[in-house]
Amino acid sequence: MSSPLRIAIIGYNFMGKAHSNGWLQASKFFELPLQPVLKVACGRSEAAVQAFADNWGWENVETDWRKVVERDDIDVIDISLPQYLHHDVAVAAAKNGKHIFCEKPMALTLAEAQNMLVEAEKAGVKHYLNHNYRRCPAIMLAKQLIDEGKIGRIFHWRGTYQQDWIVDPEFPLTWQLQKETAGAGPHADLNSHSVDLAHYLVGDIKSVSCLTANFIKERPLASGGETAFSSGGGSGPREMGKVTVEDASLMMVEFENGAVGSFEATRFAPGRKNHNYLEIYGSEGSITFDLERMNELHYFSRNDPAAAQGFRKILATEPCHPYVAHWWPPGHMIGYEHEFTHAVVDFVDAIANDRTVEPNFADGVKCIKVLEAGLQSAAEGRKVYL
């Protein structure tokens, strides 16, 4: 029987649920070298975190994260908080010798991210940054095809990440729309995913040119229960507050390997709920991926016979595809939640076998450098070299 790996989760909303499900499912479908134990859940509201713990099977609750990171019966700190809270928790966790499983974006600023990396490396703990889309089997297949030379020399990257949950001007001024708590708008939240995937599939970025837009400059102040994806509205007039992050971002980049790329991130695309789409074009072929059809990869090869050339749909649900053999029979779909389980599997393996897991805080630092350069470019109206 495998030894226990005792987990504490800090944060219990959207990501808290997704992470909890990942911890629970991992050992049910995969043979893990360590057995995750859901030890403690932490949040500001004792009643809310108790209800969360009861539902997901966390053994006990706490309202002070500082007490959690100091506990001797905890091996891993899972940070499922907004990014403005990541730094202090991660640094304290590292100093207390805890491995760190952290939600993205990594931090509010590059300085915070760099300090998180330094402290984690100094402590010798494993650190993972949850850009979960890397662990879609179709994305991992894309990486395999690229590494095998099937795409050839890469010329173009195009990434677009579109949502629509703040088009309504009555949507409230939640923490995601304030610079002091979100750092930036979709440029940080959505583009962090796209930049991470571009780093993973194409390579490092050399320069950035960016523009941002703000469509609604004031919104009603948020009440207690309002957060991302809630409908807003409310009865009667409400006090207004300033939106201090961008609503949309358009970014052009040069990669170190000579490829060029574009990134679009917006929350003002009606009908787009979570549209994460990418295209890669190279000398030997092309790849496209759409998260809304996450089991599919579309691949074009210039080496096919001329009469048979065209984009082919590959259903990445065969046992030969990463992780798939542990789930359902061939052709049966997996979904968004499975990416979190795959992350847990790899993170546990890294701890048990003293391996590096990616993406980690070093990848997060690299990503935030690009995002901050983008905001600098937009503010100064010029290309910024990293």
Across the range 185-203, mean pLDDT stands at 98
In angstroms, rounded to a whole number, what is the distance separating the alpha carbons of residues 286 and 299?
A: 6
SS3 category, 126 = coil
Quick one: average pLDDT of 220-225?
A: 82
Superfamily name and number for 3-133? NAD(P)-binding Rossmann-like Domain (3.40.50.720)
pLDDT in the model for residue 189: 96
Q: What's the mean pLDDT in 245-254?
A: 98
Report the distance separating Cα 331 and Cα 180, nearest Å: 45
Are the C-beta atoms of 285 and 302 separated by less than 8 Å?
A: yes
Which ranges in the chain are annotated with CATH 3.40.50.720? 3-133
Task: State the average pLDDT over residues 216-221.
Answer: 97
Mean pLDDT, to the nearest integer, of 35-54? 98
CA distance 230 to 255: 37
Q: Which of 57-61, 226-230, 357-361, 379-383 has the lowest mean pLDDT?
A: 226-230
Token reading at 305: 């016979």
Distance CA 277, CA 161 (A): 6
- The confidence band for 231, taking pLDDT boundaries of 50, 70 and 90, is low
Amino acid at 286: S
Q: How many CB atoms lie within 10 A of CB 229?
A: 14
For the chain, give every residue range classified as CATH 3.30.360.10.
137-293+295-334+366-385
- Which parts of 148-301 fold into alpha helices (H)? 179-182, 186-201
Q: What is the pTM of this model?
A: 0.96
pLDDT value of position 91? 98
Is the CATH number of domain 137-293+295-334+366-385 3.10.28.10?
A: no
Task: Kindly list the distances between the CA atom of residue 108 and the CA atoms of 86, 152, 370, in Å, as whole numbers in the listed order.
Answer: 8, 36, 13
- Residue 238: pLDDT band with limits 50, 70, 90: confident
Average pLDDT estimate for 138-167: 98
Q: What is the pLDDT of residue 230?
A: 58
pLDDT confidence tier of residue 81, bands split at 50, 70 and 90 = very high
Report the distance separating Cα 351 and Cα 75, nearest Å.
Answer: 10
Among 266, 264, 268, which residue's Cα sits nearest to residue 278?
264
Residue 354 neighbours by CB distance under 10 Å: 8
Cα four-point dihedral sign 119, 122, 125, 127: positive
pLDDT-derived band at 224, boundaries 50, 70, 90: low
pLDDT for residue 270: 98
pLDDT band at 1 (very low <50, low <70, confident <90, very high): low
* Burial grade of 313 (CB within 10 A; 0-12, 13-18, 19 or more): exposed
Looking at residue 229, its pLDDT comes to 63
Give the pLDDT band of residue 2 (cuts 50, 70, 90): confident
- Do 347 and 132 form a contact (C-beta atoms < 8 A)? no
Distance CA 144, CA 107 (A): 30
Output the pLDDT for position 343.
98
**Which of these, 244, 7, 13, lies nearest to 108 by C-alpha position?**
244
Pairs from 181-184 (Cβ < 8 Å, separation ≥ 24): 181/82, 181/84, 182/82, 182/83, 182/84, 182/245, 183/83, 183/84, 183/105, 183/107, 183/108, 183/109, 183/245, 184/245, 184/246, 184/249, 184/371, 184/375
**Helix residue ranges per DSSP H, the chain:** 14-29, 46-56, 65-69, 86-95, 110-123, 137-147, 179-182, 186-201, 336-353, 361-380
pLDDT in tens, 166-183: 999 999 999 999 999 999
% pLDDT > 90, the chain = 95
